[in-house]
Amino acid sequence: MGNATSASAAGENAGEFAGDEGLQNCGYRVLGVQAGSPAAAAGLVSFFDFIVMANHLPLRQVDYTFIDLIREFEDRPLELKIYNSKSQTVRDLVLTPSKNWDGQGMLGVTIRFDYYDQSEEHLVRVLEVVPDSPAELAGLQPMTDFLLGTAETVFKDPDVLEEVLGRNLEQTIDFYVYNTETDTVRTATLMPNLKWGGRGCLGAEIGHGYLHGLPQKSCRSNGTSVFKVPAPHIADATRASEAVGDMADEATGGGGGGRFARDTARKRTARPLPSTSSVRARGVDHVMSSSAARWAGIVMEKE
């Protein structure tokens, strides 16, 4: 399905891609990786890995470049360049898009276009877990677990976490969690609520900032993914055609795209995404488009 090649030289790091603010510090963030998929075989790591180049082409904006390459390289090795925000290193991978595996789609991965500058600082550490709390029921571990974010949101600080919890009271929500002991990123399903018998809706003490960053030993590796089974509220890989336009508003300057829209509007050489309309599914906005990525086998998540 595709195997990892040797890592890039130690001197090759984020600096190669971070020269132009807003243009070269971005890529497709890897989120959910399906077990047994081509993405799993290639060794992609959830949340920390960013796909920054494919077939030697930089992926600096949301357009058809990556989608077209996946279709072009079906059952053929596709060279990828990956930036890992945990180790702050760049490595080369070979991934073979294919339908010849037990899951859906040709990659078996959920991705979202995102920025990786200072992403190593966007961490919330679990310090204490109260017994019988939503945090304990979700399996969160004190001192060794870091809350990274959801498919929609990066937990840049506790305020963002609090906002996400408040929007999802008494609803299940998937968190990406990194554990320093196992060096793995897993998905933890949490149901925040105020009726569990203790304070707050999480039942955990958290920390953020300089004293609560990743330990040095964790920054010496890329980490690994604990593979997830696709949840009902996440579109499966065969429906990537419906979700590929998630960031189309940002790319075209509509819908309040902010910095991303302004930066990508300057240099648009690839085909833009079509106009879209959005629907809401269990708190996650999925923007529906035409059959842009029908053969791509990926799911695009909205930021």
Burial 137-152 (b: 16+ CB within 10 A, else e): ebebbeebbbbbbbbb
Whether the predicted model's global pTM rises above the 0.75 cut: no
Was domain 124-213 assigned CATH 3.90.1150.10?
no
Nearest residue to 113 via CA among 282, 246, 8, 13: 246
CA 113 to CA 129: how far, in whole Å? 32
- Supply 111's token pair: 């991705």
Q: Where in the chain is the domain with CATH 2.30.42.10?
A: 4-119+227-300, 124-213
Q: Does domain 4-119+227-300 have CATH number 2.30.30.30?
A: no
DSSP 228: B
Question: pLDDT: is 155 or 19 the higher one?
Answer: 155
Q: How far apart are CA 130 and CA 159, in angstroms?
A: 20
Q: Which two three-digit tokens encode residue 191?
A: 């149901």
- Counting DSSP H helices and E strands in the chain, the numbers are 7, 16
Residue-wise pLDDT tens digits, 138-187: 999 999 999 998 877 888 889 999 999 999 999 999 999 999 999 999 99
